[in-house]
Amino acid sequence: MEENKNHSQDKAEQACRERQSGSLRERLARVKPTRWARFAIVSVIFLAWVAWLGSWWVVVFWPLLADIYLTQYVPWDWWKYSKSQAVRTVMSWVDAIVYALVLVYFLFLFVGQNYQIPSSSLEKTLLTGDYLWVNKMVYGPRVPQTPLHFPLAQNTLPGGIKSYIEWPQWRYHRLKGVRKVQRGDIVVFNFPCGDTVTTKVNNPDFYHLVALYGADAIYSDPATYGKVVWRPVDRRDAYVKRCIGLPGETVRLVNGTVYINGKALPEPMHMQRNYVVLTDGTAIAESLFDNMGVSREGQSMSQMEDGSMGKKMPDGSLLYVLPLTRKMVATLKAQPYVKQVQVMADADMADEDNMMTYPVGVRKTWTHNNYGPLWIPKKGATLKLTTANLPYYIRVIRTYEGNTVAVKSSTIYINGKPARSYTFKMDYYWMMGDNRDNSSDSRYWGFVPEDHIIGTPMFVIISFDKDKAFPGNIRWNRLFIDANPDK
């Protein structure tokens, strides 16, 4: 038995040596027709991809494919002929894992990838716990700016280890897609303010932390905030919002209504606002919350310190603050014990809002419901610069477009030269959540540059309700539904 095994192994080694020997003509003559066919298919796919990429220098890697499939000057599968069973077993797993990772790498880069909804900012259009398939081919995929990264992690591996190597950094280039971002699209993008992060605290972001507590407090307290690190554009956390404003448009909010170039926008079908609900003292039943779809997170806005729901008023009535859609409002108004349902005013938060809305730290009269007007930068458009409007665009000019900016004696300097105007190099977008009063969006961190755009979600892969236990937490009615029903 042992002799037969050794004999078989000797024959395998001999076959391997034969494959690794001979002239080019002899090697090609030994290639089976099926392998020629596979090589032809792979070559067509490779050359089509190179044409789409628009970088013909990549063709230099085609001989590598020819060697893998045909000539085999490099012993790619040497481990198959090893006398050690352990080597063959281990390397077979390594080969399969590497192949899978390479496949996933290119799939995630150029076709699409999954994305989990982490927050309630788009409720009730998309829910916390939805897993989406994000299509990158609609807007055109980006050539990786950070090519050396682990494909199954955005920026961090278990243990806090970076999942990428910062060098090399490639310039932004987007391949041709089907169309550009349109108003109303739900868009997945890299968080613009995610360039600088604290490793232990990600909400609020670094810039809001600095505005609240000061930079010295953040840098001097790593036990609380962790290290302060920089991340490349394509390794920043992914966010999902709805596109409200397009390049070159002017956005304004009046009492929560969005105006673009002076015209009010229709509200998304499932948009939520925060409402004050007043009852005659009757508590709203939990079953009604569940039937309406008010999540535990939404209900928590009305939870008192003792765990009870609703604030007891002097006249005996109960006051709730709840995120509601128009349909939910109609349901509550139909309850006989509900006395009043009205949109919550933002006057009580005006002082905090005007400092925390974009641009952060600049005192203004804007709040998240009464904001602007603000012009959205457009590629090729020239803006006259003043010391009054510079705070609204300095982050675009400096951080996103890579210039130095300084102000000396009321004169603006860009790259060391006096500047009265600036011409933008990229398009920018205004993104907002459908859960309007509970969404961290462009009202707080500003414009989204085109080089941060990842793709648009096509459908919900699966969805889990965090308020329920498995398997009851699976939302079967959301499987494979359209992720952008308003379009």
Task: Name the residues annotated as catalytic.
Answer: 121, 241
In contact, 38 and 69? CB cutoff 8 Å: yes
Q: C-alpha distances in angstroms, 474 versus 129, 240, 299?
A: 9, 22, 21
Query: In terms of Cα–Cα distance, which of 191, 240, 252, 263 is closest to 447?
Result: 191
d(CA 430, CA 247): 8
HEC states along 457-480? EEEEEEEECCCCCCCCCECHHHCC
- List the beta bridge partners of residue 33: none
> Across 75-227, where does the E strand assignment appear?
112-116, 130-135, 156-157, 161-162, 186-190, 196-198
d(CA 182, CA 318): 43
- Work out whether the CA dihedral 71, 73, 75, 76 comes out positive or negative: negative
Nearby residues of 321 by Cβ (< 8 Å), 6 or more positions away: 274, 275, 276, 277, 301, 302, 344
Nearby residues of 477 by Cβ (< 8 Å), 6 or more positions away: none
